[in-house]
Structure 1
């Protein structure tokens, strides 16, 4: 039909172009809905109290839930593991409230069948025109491929071995194979070193009136170790510190190391008592790894409190041990002694382990050393048998003698000397070693003119 003005009509009083525009708009709306529902990542919208208001099909498929199971019935934290909830409540949620956006955070979700799904989470707070927070939009990325890095290391090693065998057949092939092996070795070293770095604090900030130094000795570039340490401020001018050793190496040890570090920090916020902090970590480990795949570790956790009652300063250090080698105190009088924590048991093995605690005052000139057993378990066959040696190991007594030779000292000087010792032991150190030292500086002498 043609109108009087010469325009074609569809008989309903409007031009075909109007129908085309309407159909195109509908198609675009359908495409947008499909893109949201079946995106390669999960989308989640929650109210400010955490209740789930909207979730896309992709995330529902990953988790194995129906939409009606979650929307209006669950909170985002209900989908997290125990460790994930602790981290969300103590770190993620406060940062999101302050900044309005937080991204790239590694968490683990619980699927409907109880398995863990590693994810990377980015959340943004949406506000009204008046600036009032309305809801939280969260994007969830599947991070399971990151857990496959150990298999990638094994695959790469096999490729290198095959290249070596092929290199024996011809000089040209040998030259090329050598190049491939060296490039692969450099890649593996960079991968392992980068991953190891993510499991350690980027820096340590010393409390006022205290010197701090730390060192991590990597025994093998092919495997990620499970040693860890940290020093961080707590409330009311106190500081928390820990040093521990997870059993095993590789992906499993790295996962436990990450969980242990975040749990120790989070638990100390709720109750800084060292024994309570380690009990909390034990509960998380036994809950997360209960059954046929137990994961355990040894840990020293301490709280530093300034000794405000003394004119010369100093600190009180309370240490709790979960089966870890005792710390060593290098005194200002030139002596060294173990700080005994006898009877402390491994964490992650039994529901209610014994946790041993002790308290010591660090006076000016005193240094305390925490270490993992990679040093004391080092083989010393090529160096003779130092006093205190046990079956070819460097041993606890030898380390105590070495510490005595250093006292009195400072934290940086003690760590520098121990690094030289590890270099001397060389390939005898077949396990990673973490070192953490703290010292109270001696007061500066008063100039004669001011006396």
Structure 2
């Protein structure tokens, strides 16, 4: 084996990587300037005196005996092994090692080993790992915040109202990790008089949740101030246009009041899906009422509709997640046709039975995956 030049000007000593020539037992036969500088040793301290295993910390020595040398003897080479080399002062130099075992027919076996200093790369990897940990912690906090917000935006249980069966269900899209824009609310405004709202804010996330909370509070305040659902929606529209948000929303407001002949219902829609009415002995049908999405026009064209519900009549409100639920196999949408058909096919016309079965039906139709938030509210007359 030719000895490397001693003048320090050859490619051997000018190489930007460490180079060791080892005997088959690991004894260092030669070392270039890069590896000597990295280890802070002289050629006299290293060559002919130490073996490669002596340059490794305890963990590296175990790996040397169980992996590095057995792989060299079995395959004749190893590539890009991550190791630490010990400096003379006990410090460590992280390196990537590539080695080849040379077996000439008429000479001793030697091992040629190249090492690349990856100190900066390791520091970078640590920074990346730290950033990843911070991002995971932030994501966990955001998830907890989202779930807390969602719990505060959706009433946990519908109230008990004498003469009415009230039921509601909510299912967030996907895994439910992100706050959605669907909402509903049911609250009393006078004796035997209740207001039911349902809506859908554009988009998702914390900003959508903020608009959702704003909409619920505005509609509550407006419903107390005025008996008109139309006026409540106009108030919400005015607040949205004056607030610092570009989020639009649709909403449906019903005011339900007990009267001598049953329950009077007055409702208005701000571009929301029409409610569905199911009367005893009649097919389910949509109750269309003109209305425009809120937050766009200064004075949106809104109108009210009135009707009286009798015993066993049902009114059902949904968000677009029901209509736009899609079957992944056929590509078909659940649509209003599926909604009306399901209401007609449900033998029990109580609000609880219809709401529960509808949510289950939509999820089954979508193969168990809610691609959009689902909100459903039902009211049926019991007396």
Instruction: Give the TM-score range, shorter chain.
Output: 0.5 to 0.7
* Higher helix content, 1 or 2: 1
| CA distances 1:296-327 after superposition (whole Å, capped 9, x unpaired) | 1100001101122x3xxx21111100000000
| CA distances 1:108-128 after superposition (whole Å, capped 9, x unpaired) | xxxxxxxxxxxxxxxxxxxxx
Residue 208 in structure 1 maps to residue 208 in structure 2? no
Residue 340 of structure 1: aligned partner: 288
Residue 428 of structure 1 deviates from its aligned partner by 4.7
Residue 360 of structure 1: aligned partner: 307
Q: In the aligned structure 2, how far is the partner of 1:307 from the partner of 1:363?
A: 10
Correspondences of 1:155-194 after superposition (within 5 Å): 190-194=144-148
Residue 197 of structure 1: aligned partner: 151
- Structure 1 residues 161, 248: CA separation in 2 closer, same or farther (over 3 Å shift)? farther
CA contact (8 A) 1:330 1:407 kept: no
Q: Which has the higher contact order (CA 8 A, sep 6+)?
A: 2
Select 1:318's aligned residue among 240, 249, 266.
266
State the secondary structure of the residue aligned to 2:320. Answer: coil
Residue 374 in structure 1 maps to residue 321 in structure 2? yes
Residue 435 in structure 1 maps to residue 360 in structure 2? no
CA contact (8 A) 1:335 1:407 kept: no
CA contact (8 A) 2:146 2:206 kept: no
Q: In the aligned structure 1, how far is the partner of 2:215 from the partner of 2:140?
A: 29
Residue 356 of structure 2: aligned partner: 416
Q: In the aligned structure 2, how far is the partner of 1:217 from the partner of 1:303?
A: 25
Structure 1 residue runs without a partner (length 5+): 1-157, 164-179, 386-391, 444-451
Residue 398 of structure 1: aligned partner: 338
Q: In the aligned structure 1, how far is the partner of 2:163 from the partner of 2:172?
A: 30
| CA distances 1:112-159 after superposition (whole Å, capped 9, x unpaired) | xxxxxxxxxxxxxxxxxxxxxxxxxxxxxxxxxxxxxxxxxxxxxx98
Scaled by the length of structure 1, what TM-score is found?
0.52
CA contact (8 A) 1:245 1:297 kept: yes
Residue 267 in structure 1 maps to residue 219 in structure 2? no
* Higher strand content, 1 or 2: 2
CA contact (8 A) 1:245 1:372 kept: yes
Residue 218 of structure 1 deviates from its aligned partner by 1.1
Q: In the aligned structure 2, how far is the partner of 1:247 from the partner of 1:280?
A: 18
Q: In the aligned structure 2, how far is the partner of 1:250 from the partner of 1:355?
A: 29
Select 2:238's aligned residue among 267, 283, 287.
283
Correspondences of 1:42-121 after superposition (within 5 Å): none
Q: In the aligned structure 1, how far is the partner of 2:218 from the partner of 2:138?
A: 35
State the secondary structure of the residue aligned to 1:375. Answer: helix
State the secondary structure of the residue aligned to 1:245. Answer: strand
Select 1:331's aligned residue among 267, 272, 279.
279
Q: In the aligned structure 1, how far is the partner of 2:185 from the partner of 2:132?
A: 41
Residue 427 of structure 1 deviates from its aligned partner by 5.1
- Structure 1 residues 315, 252: CA separation in 2 closer, same or farther (over 3 Å shift)? same
State the secondary structure of the residue aligned to 2:234. Answer: helix
CA contact (8 A) 1:160 1:184 kept: no
Q: In the aligned structure 1, how far is the partner of 2:212 from the partner of 2:305?
A: 25
Residue 296 of structure 1: aligned partner: 248
State the secondary structure of the residue aligned to 1:437. Answer: strand
Q: In the aligned structure 2, how far is the partner of 1:408 from the partner of 1:438?
A: 13
Q: In the aligned structure 1, how far is the partner of 2:212 from the partner of 2:362?
A: 23
Structure 2 residue runs without a partner (length 5+): 1-127
Q: In the aligned structure 1, how far is the partner of 2:380 from the partner of 2:258?
A: 13
Q: May I ask how many residue pairs the two structures share in their alignment?
A: 253
Q: In the aligned structure 2, how far is the partner of 1:299 from the partner of 1:260?
A: 9
Q: In the aligned structure 2, how far is the partner of 1:324 from the partner of 1:436?
A: 14
Residue 335 of structure 1 deviates from its aligned partner by 1.9
Residue 409 of structure 1 deviates from its aligned partner by 0.7
Residue 6 of structure 2: aligned partner: none
Residue 116 of structure 1: aligned partner: none
Residue 135 of structure 1: aligned partner: none
